[in-house]
Structure 1
């Protein structure tokens, strides 16, 4: 009985943490991009630091998996990563896409309020589902297709409401609603493809998840720093790597690192139905914070209907996914 209670507490604790972590990450990023326009931090450096810290956590987990033996851990990395270049190079594709995706999300949140961003980013459920059918040959139930249609309709309604809301756009002082919507759609597509591709690679080999994450993280770090050099090299040389950094920037980095741990906890202790519930809660939190505290969001009837459809579709798709 005690074990069941612990599992139950962990389930709801992980879901609560997922809701708060997701909403906090989005709101903090939006706030930092909207209020620090004169001397902003460089998103490329934030992405790179998040990848470094994720790699450190992955190496720590691999170290624990190998019985806390440095020699065994190093030998495993040498045998499974360095001496298997064909397997390792496969992870360069999702690594590149993850870096681009994370960079696009900063652009999106520089131009959109967190509520609109949260709703539109759920489009990744659609892209993941369609690519799972195409690449992994998964079959979807009729009810799941219906949920995806509702999801798409909801996102379209929110985007139309945002595009037509000239007063809201002026109030939030956004650079470009069009760029924000375009980048969040692009990030959703990249998220779907990279996630399905990574799943396909995992299923096609017997290497452990932590080894795959080491391979992925290695490429991500290299690509992230290459992006800094190409995009912001001169700026970093002139003003430093940590230019514009505040306590809020480090909080964003921490929340980005915690996202991977949070998802792992949810996968272990919860299910897709409750994960959908947590996603819905995070959308509501982001909406309330945007309206009451950031003052950059004016809800409209179109947004309300669209957001409701997205939340309901997320629930429905999670319920049907859980039946498999």
Structure 2
């Protein structure tokens, strides 16, 4: 593996693992006063992402503010049809981001990460439906193994002392919906990118604009009373802002380093992240005790992930 792929692998593992563990800890740690609202973190992260995209366009224009403003006005405001096409994947991503918070409120980090690999299945199905791709026999076998592995992971250990099994089903339902949303949004966004001559940063600006709008509407309709009472930044501390930055910069980081990687590197990153998250949850958080079904299921999921990338 060359140095660029190795760097990409390390960055992807760090970003993925840190985001999952930080989100999990931020939703379960004891706090004084109101806890931060999921919906506000999502919308603030979109604002930060928008600012990052504008800074990248500014850099590409030689730090000329006039050229940057002209570029954004011409490509975003001046091409309304292309801009509004982004509303669909942006709305789906807004739903996905809120669902991920819910899932990590009810599921431990390893179970969340293994189950979230079902997004490979949803992405494959939508790529067939929206992009007209065909999957060979090896990929279909890997998808069947993926579903089997995820099913094994959901079987609780014999000595499990789960307080309320319903909580687990809330988390699983949230993550299944998130996988569907992620698969559709990712494939649809890819379709738009391949049929447009607009730059990736302009597309990200459009995504962030609609993400801010959809996130704001979600926050208004779901947490209006809490926001009116304690403000949009209620419960925010250094860890919460770290979560915001991870959400905002994480996707941009992956989109930049991915040009040095390939599907196999991405698969290894996901696999290593699952292993590291499991270890941290076991040794540091003491909230995760893997049983035989989880171990076997995780191995099957990791194998199917690598197999699918072949």
TM band (smaller chain): over 0.9
Secondary structure at 1:167's aligned position in 2?
coil
**Is residue 145 of structure 1 aligned with residue 152 of structure 2?**
no
Q: Report the more deviating stretch, 144-153 or 187-196.
A: 144-153
Over 3 Å counting, the alpha-carbon distance change for 1:134 and 1:57 in structure 2 is same
Residue 175 of structure 2 corresponds to 184
Aligned partners of 2:180 and 2:5: how far apart in 1?
29
Q: 1:167 aligns with which of 146, 151, 160?
A: 160
Supply the distance in 2 between the matched residues of 1:127 and 1:261 (Cα, whole angstroms).
22
> C-alpha separation between the residues in 2 aligned to 1:259 and 1:169?
32
Match of 2:19 in 1: 25
In the TM superposition, residue 99 of structure 1 has moved relative to its aligned partner by 0.8
> Distance between the aligned counterparts of 2:162 and 2:268, measured in 1?
29
Shift of 1:258: 2.8
Does residue 301 (structure 1) correspond to residue 292 (structure 2)? The answer is yes
Using the alignment, how far apart are the partners of 1:290 and 1:239 within structure 2?
32
Alpha-carbon distance in 2 for matches of 1:135, 1:299: 38
Residue 8 (structure 1) shift? 3.2
Asked if the contact 1:41/1:243 (under 8 Å) is kept, the reply is: yes
Structure 1: how far apart are the matches of 2:245 and 2:109? 18
CA distance in structure 2 between the partners assigned to 1:59 and 1:165 by the alignment: 52
Measure, in 1, the Cα distance between the counterparts of 2:54 and 2:165.
40
Distance, in Å, in 1 between the alignment partners of 2:161 and 2:91 is 35
Contact in 1 for aligned 2:8/2:258 (Cα 8 Å): no
SS at match of 1:183: helix
- Aligned residue number for residue 311 of structure 1: 302
Q: Name the residue aligned to 1:4.
A: none
Alpha carbons of structure 1 residues 242 and 317: separation in structure 2 relative to 1, 3 Å: same
- What are the within-5 Å matches in structure 2 for residues 33-112 of structure 1? 33-36=27-30, 39-112=34-107
For structure 2, the 5+ residue unaligned runs are none
1:9 to 3, 6, 12: 3
Note if contact 1:23-1:286 (Cα within 8 Å) is conserved in structure 2: yes
Deviations 1:128-155 (A, max 9, x none): 0111011101121211111111111111
Tell whether the 8 Å contact from 1:111 to 1:175 is kept in structure 2 after alignment: no
CA contact (8 A) 2:50 2:205 kept: yes
CA distance in 2, matches of 1:234, 1:133: 43
Who is 1:243 aligned against? 234
| Aligned residue among 110, 126, 133 for 1:131 | 126
Distance 1:250 1:168 in 2: 33
Contact 1:121 1:184 in 2 (8 A): yes
| CA deviation vs aligned residue, 1:246-297 (integer Å, no higher than 9, x gap) | 2221221122123113312431211111111111010001111111211221
Q: Deviations over 1:283-322 (max 9, x none)?
A: 001111111211221211111111111101111112x2xx
Cα shift readout 1:202-245 (whole Å, capped 9, x = no counterpart): 11221111111111111101111111111112111111221112
How far apart are residue 103 of structure 1 and its match? 0.3
- Extract structure 1 runs of 4+ deviating beyond 4 A: none
Select 1:157's aligned residue among 140, 152, 171: 152
C-alpha separation between the residues in 2 aligned to 1:168 and 1:195? 37
Query: Any gaps of 5 or more consecutive residues in structure 1?
Result: 1-6
| Counterpart in the other structure of 2:261 | 270
Task: Tell me if structure 2 keeps the 8 A contact 1:266–1:275.
Answer: no
